[in-house]
Amino acid sequence: TTVIIQVQRQKHVTGPAESGNMRLRELHVLENRLWDYLMTKNSGIFYRGTAGEGKGTGLGALGNGVYLTWTEGMAKAFAQHVGGEVKKYKVKPGLKMADAQGPEVIAIKKEMGFEPWEYSNDEMYGGMMTMGLKDLGFDGAVSDKPADGIVIFDPSNIEEV
């Protein structure tokens, strides 16, 4: 028997039922619906406002990695802020992305002493968020806010186009 439980409006958890409960190791979390939508809508193409040698702003609210956005205008705003340029990237399909407001991110923030809406620009914060999400099998994280955007932890999962 398979049970579907609505965890939050953007995710579903499925797995075999066992005495009315689900065994954690048998759960399968379907990818974030927002991420699926953005990948389909943009054909895997996203934008990045870079400073100089391809560096970002260094904020790390979703973890450490390459930050992208689905709106070219937002990338232009970042590029203007740092005196850089906008670059376009193709993201590999099939990545497992955490929801910035999802239970995994909230739990990691709580462990660090942050509320769900809080973050820090401290390198340790970004490192802990990245490590925590990678340990859970995520390749990055996505926010529903274009300014927060998307972080891809491993640069080999994107290609400049």
How does pLDDT run across 25-81, given as a tens digit for each residue? 333 344 468 999 999 999 999 999 987 665 555 567 899 999 999 999 999 998 888
Residues 6+ apart with CB under 8 A from 157: 91, 92, 95, 139, 140
pLDDT attached to residue 153 = 96
User: What b-and-e string marks burial along 67-92, b requiring 16 or more CB atoms within 10 Å of the CB?
Assistant: bbbbeeebbbebbeeeebebbebebe
pLDDT attached to residue 143 = 92
pLDDT attached to residue 12 = 39
pLDDT attached to residue 21 = 41
pLDDT attached to residue 146 = 87
Residues 6+ apart with CB under 8 A from 116: 101, 105, 106, 109, 110
pLDDT attached to residue 81 = 84
Q: Which of 72, 65, 66 is nearest to 88 (CA)?
A: 72
Q: How many residues does the chain have?
A: 161
Calculate the average pLDDT of the chain.
Answer: 80
Q: Is the pLDDT of residue 83 over 80?
A: yes
Alpha-carbon gap, residue 24 to 38, rounded angstroms: 29
Q: Is the pLDDT of residue 4 over 50?
A: no
Alpha-carbon gap, residue 54 to 80, rounded angstroms: 13
